[in-house]
Structure 1
Amino acid sequence: MDERTVGEVLPEIRRRGLKVEYLIMAVAPGNPGGFGELRTQTEPVGDEWVVWEAEDARRGVVRLLVTDRRYDRNPVYGGPRDAVIKE
């Protein structure tokens, strides 16, 4: 679900009967990789926000790591996720 918009991933999360929470990420200027956590919230963010990663928060809840804009590379992995995670 990484690098898609919230609006693109929410239908699948809902289809699976899961609840969602959002970890709002802080990305350093120049996006050198890595991120800070501004806050975690259950209040919805905009459909255009970008999901960089999804993780299990607890039973029945998925946490979306999001930013309010798209960056040139995934801040969670410091570049493309697929360069780090081989599925």
Structure 2
Amino acid sequence: MNQTKSIIQSGNVAIDNFIKHASRMEFVPFEKFKDIEYNILPKEDLKATWINGPITNRNYAKQHKGEMTVTLKELTYSKDITFNQLNEIK
């Protein structure tokens, strides 16, 4: 049986290409996070719970690890971010 994984597109070609080439990364919409701990200072990392967690088997869609705590980083003006800028956060 040949199954393909479903990939959520971010809407930004640079981000989508970056994720495509980074084997352990995936775009996660903001609504897939809960318990977000906002910091008082700008440019601080945020702590949150990723509701589904990462994909555990890249060969099949919809297989996720489950909830996990993650760090969120702000990408200011990310609508126009370039591939080179994304490489800086690897």
Larger RCO (alpha carbons 8 Å, 6+ apart): 1
More strand by share: 1
Q: TM-score normalized by structure 1? A: 0.26
Q: Which has the larger radius of gyration?
A: 2
More helix by share: 2
Q: TM-score normalized by structure 2? A: 0.26
